[in-house]
Amino acid sequence: MKRQMTGAKMIVQALIDQGVDTVFGYPGGAVLPIYDEVFQQNAIKHVLVRHEQGAVHAAEGYARSTGKPGVVLVTSGPGATNAVTGLTDALLDSIPLVVLTGQVPTFMIGSDAFQEADTVGITRPCTKHNWLVKETDNLGPVLHEAFHVATHGRPGPVLIDIPKDVQFATGHYESPKPSISRYQPQVKGDMEEITELVAAMETAKRPIFYTGGGVINSGPAASQLLRELVDATGFPITSTLMGLGAYPASGDKWLGMLGMHGLYEANMAMHDCDLMINIGARFDDRITGVIDSFSPKSTKAHIDIDPSSINKVIRIDIPIVGDVAHVLEDLLKVWKSRGRKTNSEAVAKWWQQIEEWRAKECLKFEQKGKIIKPQHALTRLEALTKGHDRYITTEVGQHQMWAAQYLGFEEPNRWMTSGGLGTMGYGFPASIGVQMAHPEALVINVAGEASWLMNMQEMGTAMQFGLPVKQFILNNERLGMVRQWQELLHGERYSQSWSEALPDFVKLAEAFGAKGIICSDPDDLDDAIMEMINHDGPVIFDCLVEKHENCFPMIPSGKAHNEMLLPGDHETQGVIDSKGSVLV
Amino acid sequence: MAALKIKKGATSHSAYNLRPNFSDVIEKHTLAVLVENEPGALARVIGLFSGRGYNIDSLTVAEVDHTGHLSRITIVTSGTPQVIEQIKAQVGRIVPVHEVHDLTVEGASVERELAMFKVAGKGEQRVEALRLADIFRANVVDSTLESFVFEITGAPEKIDAFAELMRPLGLVEVARTGVAALARGA
């Protein structure tokens, strides 16, 4: 049924019809008609952020913790340009977002009008797709298509730029119909390739599952099928930073995260395996180490919904284009119908080898003395929050890697971190988005003090909307990861990697009306963490930690998986050669 | 729509065409991309090439189906087989792109380019330019007492050859359209 309404009303109506319950945004001149409609309804909650970057990260947190697209509403010009970092972050991590930006009226486009920016031009490389809507009649179809594109195929952020006169004008609106979109990426994998993979699994002596964010993005069914597959075959499994929680950390086939700061046993197993089954990961450079020596002896299978991910960096022997859940379902069917075979004798030997690597205890650390080790802080956080309905977000840096190493994730969608873009300032607004979606849950942002300060203005948002997000700041008064690289690579010349003017975080919390906790003594840590958990409201937890702790294990730049630095390796000078030093 | 039909070849939805060929040899490929004729569609394709560091040797674009709102972009690009495969996959995932075809590997194809050459000269040089133009079946589309503008259509190599011959005869300006290409057969 077609109905007549203004563009602004259409936008709100389309959001309601798409099942949106929360919008993160910030008003301005070019979106006032939309905000007027937001004012006159109760179906959609609007979260007023304090900076548009925060709106996008909050929407990412919402999307990643729910599996639903996150929605953002910002104004033209600076509103749109401030959203660019968040859009790029969501693009690299394949997070579905629908971002609505206001634009100057159509008749002023191109005149360098007040708060005009070429938003579709600026955001073209950092969105999956974007639209400038110049006719009110087109608004409905474009809005519906935007949700379809954001959530189908490899998910990603989309943006709709809407001039103000289009918002005021009246046009026809139709509710969304079952997909009439031309955009229908392939979800079923090729059965011949799947069968070839099953055949490889039946004979593999040293198999490994290497899984990524694609499993999470594919939905809860994908994680369920993955668990079934791993447990039925008995093959070891490792995951990228993005895929943590798809397989439970408590599962006995779990090797831990792989990659630059991954676990020794996971990286060694990747290096020595004879069959690598990549499920929804993309051979990122944080994962592979130096390409030439990446897992030299293995047959490589790759399941990915995006054909451009396959053979992009690593040569693949068994390519399967499709959605993880669909492919795993078929894979399990074929494997079962062929008699559930594995080379169990050889796989048992493989596990013996893995246990030897595990015996290195690469995450071991010693908490002694009166200074809190960051690893210890996270171990205690894990122990004290484990039983809770818990969601973790992080900022970017050493604390992020320690969180990935020392916290365990039992379910998908419980771990929100900026993987591809590595955006400092991501975690705090993301925690706000998560808490909006899960008001009763314990939402903790594991942060470093430097990252956290990048979007600290969102304290206002947390207070205004009564969001009890816990900001667990591992404060080393340093840009820890930068400092670590300067130690390893630049002769311990610590150029600009510490802050001499940090705020008093307790007072800062109090200035916003929140609770602040400071803890510097390991003996006080448990009580302080409990105080944070039990406080019904936002908390800034200033955990003063060892200032010069390095994050290990580590694959140095330009090295292979079997050339890791372990915590005991004190000789770190010169481990990165000139070839490796140009890598990021 | 008959004009739009591109021979279906190796780029089906099967993953078999993803079997890699990681050779270091730089190859030249002609890609035909059918894309929705909407604002910014060309920018998306070009932006992909510049953003990911791929080469564009030549590019032509025009609407080919008014009712279906489709434009055809013909891109001549060069790279290793792996890079060419990446380019096709990357272009293929641009949302308004309907089809990507690699005319270089999907059977035989014909390529044509149109060029215009301005040649200035007097006397014997002028006569020689006209004589060569005739051999190359180039048309004279403008003439003054001291200059010609030739129009020539053909494979890019033919146009290159014509340009080489015109250079010593007073070539002052060249305009080329870039390659348009179609697969042979029905």
Q: What is the pLDDT of residue A287?
A: 94
Per-residue pLDDT at B7: 42
Residue A348 within a domain: yes
Q: How confident is the model at residue A581 (pLDDT cuts 50, 70, 90)?
A: confident
> Got the DSSP string for A377-396?
HHHHHHHHHTTS-EEEEE-S
Quick one: CATH architecture of B2-107?
2-Layer Sandwich (3.30)
ipTM score for this prediction: 0.91
Average pLDDT, chain A: 96
The string of DSSP codes covering B41-85 is HHHHHHHHHHHTT---SEEEEEEEETTTTEEEEEEEEEE-HHHHH
Predicted pLDDT at B17: 57
What separation in angstroms does the CA of A536 have from each of A48, A519, A526? Answer: 21, 19, 18
Separation of alpha carbons A232 and A8, rounded Å: 53
Are A354 and A378 part of one and the same domain? no
Query: Do the chains contact at B20 and A311, CB–CB below 8 Å?
Result: yes
Same domain, yes or no: A380 and A524: yes
Q: What are the chain A neighbours of B15 within 8 Å (beta carbons)?
A: 189-190, 193, 307, 310, 319-321
Domain match, A145 and A205 both: no
Q: What is the least distance, in Å, from the CA of A214 to any CA of chain B? A: 17
Q: Cβ B92–A124 below 8 Å, yes or no? A: no
Per-residue DSSP letter, A372: B
State whether A228 and A307 are in the same domain.
Answer: yes
- Whole-number percent of chain A with pLDDT over 70: 99
Q: Is residue A364 part of a domain?
A: no
The two tokens of residue B146 are 């001291």
- The answer to whether the Cβ–Cβ distance between A311 and B16 falls below 8 Å is no
Mean pLDDT score, A350-373: 97
Residue A319 and residue B98: Cβ atoms within 8 Å?
Answer: no
Place of tokens 């070891």: A236
Strand partners, A540: A471, A516
Q: Which amino acid is at A163?
A: P
Q: Is the pLDDT confidence value at B15 over 60?
A: no
Q: Kindly state whether B2 is in contact with chain A, defined as any CB-CB distance less than 8 angstroms.
A: no
Q: Which two tokens stand for residue A214?
A: 């694609």
Look at the block and give the residue holding tokens 């133009």.
Answer: B133
CATH fold of the domain at B110-183: Alpha-Beta Plaits (3.30.70)
Contacts of B76 (CB under 8 A, 6+ apart): B28, B29, B30, B31, B56, B57, B58, B59, B156, B178, B179
Q: How far apart are CA A476 and CA A268, in angstroms?
A: 31
Q: How far is the CA of A411 from the CAs of A227, A250, A388, B144, in angstroms?
A: 11, 10, 12, 80
Find the closest chain B residue to A129 by CA distance: B95
- Cβ–Cβ gap B15/A154 under 8 Å: no
What is the DSSP code (8-state) at residue B127?
A: H
pLDDT: is A2 or A240 the higher one? Answer: A240
Mean pLDDT of chain B: 90
User: Where is average pLDDT lowest: A130-144, A170-184, A329-343, A429-443?
Assistant: A170-184
Q: How does residue A576 score in pLDDT terms, banded at 50, 70 and 90?
A: confident
Do the domains spanning B2-107 and B110-183 agree at the CATH topology level?
Answer: yes
Are the beta carbons of A483 and A497 closer than 8 angstroms?
A: yes
CA proximity to A479, closest of A442, A454, A515: A454
Contact between A326 and A193 under an 8 Å Cβ cutoff? The reply is no
Q: Find the CB nearest A307 among B18, B20, B40.
A: B18
Contacts of B44 in chain A (CB under 8 A): 124
A31 or A559, greater pLDDT? A31
In A, which residues are within 8 Å of B39 by CB distance? Answer: 132
Query: Residue B5: what pLDDT?
Result: 46
Q: How far apart are CA A434 and CA A439, in angstroms?
A: 8
Domain ranges of chain B: 2-107, 110-183
> What is the per-residue pLDDT for A380?
98
Is A378 a member of any domain? Answer: yes
In this structure, is residue A367 part of a structural domain? no
Residue B11 — very low, low, confident or very high, per pLDDT cuts 50/70/90?
very low
pLDDT tens-place string over residues A429-485: 999 999 999 999 999 999 999 999 999 999 999 999 999 999 999 999 999 999 999
Angstrom distance (rounded) from CA A500 to CA A35: 42
Residue contact A125–B51, C-beta within 8 A: yes
**Could you give the CA distance from residue B32 to residue A203 in angstroms, rounded to a whole number?**
42
Residues of B in contact with A310 (CB under 8 A): 15, 18, 89
- Flag whether residue A149 sits within 8 Å of chain B, measured between CB atoms: yes
Answer yes or no: do A320 and B14 touch at CB < 8 A.
Answer: no
Q: Is A291 on the interface with B (CB under 8 A)?
A: no
Q: Do A401 and A307 have their domain in common?
A: no
Query: How would you classify residue A77: left for phi > 0, otherwise alpha for psi between -120 and 50, otherwise beta?
Result: left
Whether chain A has a CB inside 8 Å of the CB on B12: the answer is: no
Residue A283, SS3 per DSSP: coil
- Give Cβ neighbours of residue A336 (< 8 Å, ≥ 6 apart): none
Residue in B with minimal Cα distance to A146: B95
| Cβ-based contacts under 8 A for chains A and B | 61
Catalytic residue among A114, A205, A312, A341: A114
Q: Give the chain A residue whose CA is nearest to the CA of B91.
A: A308
Comparing C-alpha atoms, which of B87, B12, B163 is closest to residue A192? B12
Nearest CA-CA distance, residue A335 and chain B, Å: 20
Query: Do A97 and A224 lie in a common domain?
Result: no
What values do phi and psi take at A207, rounded to 5? Answer: -80, 160
For residues A257 and A287, the answer to whether their CB atoms sit within 8 Å is no
The catalytic position among A115, A224, A353, A464 is A115
Q: Is A114 a catalytic residue?
A: yes
Do both A159 and A281 map to the same domain? no
- Which CATH number do you get for residue A413? 3.40.50.970
Q: Is the pLDDT of residue A33 over 70?
A: yes
Nearest-Cα residue of chain A relative to residue B86: A308
- Going through chain B in order, the beta strands assigned E by DSSP cover 27-36, 58-65, 70-79, 97-102, 109-120, 139-143, 147-154, 171-176, 180-183
By Cβ distance, the residue of A120, A121, A315 closest to B20 is A315
Rounded CA separation B163/B160 (Å): 5
Q: What does each C-alpha distance from B76 to A438, B61, B84, B105 come to in angstroms? A: 51, 12, 11, 13
Q: Is residue A562 part of a domain?
A: no
pLDDT at B24: 85
Q: Which residues are CB-contacts of A178 (< 8 A; sequence separation ≥ 6)? A: none
What are φ and ψ of residue A391, in 5° steps?
Answer: -125, 135
Q: Is residue A566 part of a domain?
A: no
The single residue listed with the structure tokens 């990412």 is: A60
Q: Does A529 touch chain B (CB under 8 A)?
A: no
Predicted local confidence at residue B162, as pLDDT: 98
CA A268 to chain centre: 25
Does any CB of chain A come closer than 8 Å to the CB of residue B90? yes
Is any Cβ of chain A less than 8 angstroms from the Cβ of B177? no
Instruction: Give residue A7's domain range.
Output: 3-173
As a whole number of angstroms, the distance between CA A396 and CA A374 comes to 15
A426: helix, strand or coil: coil
Interface check for A4 against chain B (CB to CB < 8 A): the answer is: no
Give yes or no for residue A178 having a pLDDT over 90.
no
Specify whether A33 is located in the same domain as A128.
Answer: yes
Q: What is the mean pLDDT of residues A128-141?
A: 98
Positions of E strands within A174-272: 207-211, 237-239, 254-257
Selecting from A125, A128, A316 the residue whose C-beta is nearest the C-beta of B47 gives A125
Half-sphere exposure of A408 (CA within 13 A, CB side): 18
Write a three-state SS string for A64-123.
HHHCCCEEEEECCCHHHHHCHHHHHHHHHCCCCEEEEEEECCHHHCCCCCCCCCCHHHHH
Task: Scan residues 147-176 of B and list those with Cβ closer than 8 Å to A.
Answer: none
Least confident of A502-511, A568-577, B8-17: B8-17
pLDDT cut 90: percent of chain A above it: 94
pLDDT given at position A452: 98
Strand partners, B120: B147
Bond from prior residue into A553 cis (ω within 30 degrees of 0): yes
Total Cβ atoms within 10 A of residue A486: 18
C-alpha atoms less than 13 angstroms from C-alpha of A454 in its C-beta half-sphere: 21
Contact A197, A318 (CB under 8 A): yes
Q: Write down the catalytic residue from A9, A68, A128, A164.
A: A164
> What CA–CA distance (Å, rounded) separates A344 from B181?
55
A124 touches chain B (CB under 8 A): yes
Q: Is the Cβ of A129 closer than 8 Å to some Cβ of chain B?
A: yes
In the predicted model, what is the mean pLDDT of residues B120-147?
96
Partner B contacted by A368 (CB < 8 A): no
For residues A545 and A371, the answer to whether their CB atoms sit within 8 Å is yes
Domain count, chain A: 3
The answer to whether residue A582 sits within a structural domain is no
Nearest to B93 among A121, A308, A320 (CB): A308
Q: How confident is the model at residue B19, as a pLDDT?
A: 60
CB contact under 8 Å between B19 and A307, yes or no, is no
Looking at the complex, report in whole angstroms how far the Cα of residue A311 sits from the nearest Cα belonging to chain B.
Answer: 7
Beta strand A157-163 with A97-103: parallel, antiparallel or unpaired?
parallel
Strand partners, A207: A275
Q: In a 3-state reduction of DSSP, which class is residue B37?
A: coil
Both tokens of residue A551? 């994050």
Whether A124 sits inside 8 A of B44 (CB atoms) is yes
CB of A79 within 8 Å of a chain B CB? The answer is no
Phi then psi dihedrals of residue A86, to 5 deg: -65, -40
A320 touches chain B (CB under 8 A): yes
CB contacts of A120 in chain B (<8 Å) are: 40
Measured distance CA(B119)–CA(B140) in Å, rounded: 11
Three-state SS across A501-546? Answer: CCCCHHHHHHHHCCEEEEECCHHHHHHHHHHHHHCCCCEEEEEEEC
Dihedral angle at the C-alpha atoms of A135, A140, A141, A145, nearest 10 degrees?
A: 120
Tens-place pLDDT, residues B36-62 = 999 999 999 999 999 999 999 999 999
**Amino acid A573: pLDDT:** 64
Instruction: Look at residue A309 and tell me if it is in a domain.
Output: yes
Chain centroid to Cα A128, Å, comes to 17
Q: Are the beta carbons of A124 and B22 separated by less than 8 Å?
A: no
- Write out chain A residues lying below 8 Å of B86, CB-based: 308, 311-312
Identify the pLDDT of residue B1: 39
